[in-house]
Amino acid sequence: MMSPKKNTADVFDITFVGAGPTGLFGAFYAGLREMKVKIIDALPQPGGQLIALYPDKLIYDTPGFPSILSKELASCLTEQASQWKPFMALGERALELKRTPLPGGDDGQECWIIETDKDIHYSRTVVIAAGIGAFRPNKLKNESISLFEGKGVEYWVNDVDDYAGMRVLIIGGGDSAVDWSLALEPIAEHVTLIHRREGFRAHDTSVNALKDSSVDTRIFYELREFQGNESLERAVIFDNRTGDESTIEVDAGILALGFKADLGPIREWGLETIGRRYIKVNSKMETNLPGIYAAGDVALQEELDPLNLIVVGYGQVTVAVNYAYAAIKPGEKVFPGHSSERVAD
């Protein structure tokens, strides 16, 4: 853990825990209100579920787009937020939340410390936009996999162009496995998809497209072993009905086995919750802790039913940002005026 920096310049006005659609739009809106913004997320790139679970799925219910690919929506939201130059602490898992005197201050003011597995962050207010929780990829119990992680074996596709001309093995039977197989088919030299049982847990349209594609799809097949020297070179797969083995030459292996999502350490932050999934908020998106807000799939008002929609997250985080602004700038209005007027100024 890095040592904390005792300087008020390092204290942010607002920090978003989560870089999914809700956190990214919140970062944009906070920038619009001229707040100093930070985003923390456990994934190595912004986008949350849009990138981790279904990057090549079409989204139909986000404003302004009749339809848009998940990964393109994530890119647009990132670009929108980035115009205000927020600080992004990606690949960091938030572990602890503590109240502390404002570093370098002598007026009795306090702020929050967010400790991650890599750093310490100071913020006057915090918006928890963690969706359904931090993502960690499901893994197979296979010793050969760890030998090639980062050396040909990955758990998601950051950029399909990275696989141009490569021989790719994809393992899984859900949306991500099928989507990535289809996305890589025209780019890779060859794509093999193995799934341990009959039937895919993906949308019917995607499965039908898979059947019509050139992807080498093998059901009832599992991984026996990855092999190679400095990097991945081969995969031994087997038919789980007969035990028959096949060795195929591969340059990359993608384990699309889904993700575990869990609030994890957030549960220990002293927040009131509703059930195991939701952080309790009021109509201002405030939690029971002063200066801590929640928005998106993770937030719920006690008298309401969950509406886990991207568009709901946009509205909730806008409410949270405006009330956070008023909280750290006493006397300022919650209502910011219209964006066209602010940009024109």
Query: Burial of 160 by CB count in 10 Å (0-12 exposed, 13-18 middle, 19+ buried)?
Result: middle
CA atoms within 13 A on the CB side of 52: 25
Please report the pLDDT score of residue 271 as a whole number.
96
CA 303/CA 162 separation, integer angstroms = 47
Taking only the tens place, the pLDDT of each residue in 226-244 is 999 999 999 999 999 999 9
Q: Is 194 helix (H, G, I), strand (E, B) or coil?
A: strand
Report residue 206 CA to chain centroid gap: 23
Quote the DSSP letter at residue 276: T
> Are 286 and 277 spatial neighbours (Cβ–Cβ below 8 Å)?
no
Task: Give the pLDDT confidence of 6-30 residue by residue, as tens digits.
Answer: 455 689 999 999 999 999 999 999 9
Least confident of 17-31, 104-118, 174-188: 104-118
Bigger pLDDT: 204 vs 8:
204
Torsion angle defined by CA atoms of residues 6, 11, 16 and 18, in that order, rounded to the nearest 10 degrees? -30
The per-residue pLDDT for 7 is: 55
Domains with residue ranges and CATH for the chain: 8-135+260-344 (3.50.50.60), 139-257 (3.50.50.60)
What's the CA gap between 223 and 201, in Å, rounded? 19
Residues pairing with 293 in the sheet: 127, 286
d(CA 233, CA 325): 53
Give CA–CA dist 233/9, Å, rounded.
Answer: 49
188 backbone dihedrals φ, ψ, rounded to 5°: -75, 160
pLDDT at 106: 60
- Could you read off the pLDDT of 268-288 as tens digits, one per residue? 999 999 987 899 999 999 999
Integer-rounded Cα radius of gyration of the chain: 22
SS3 46: coil
pLDDT, residue 252, reads 97
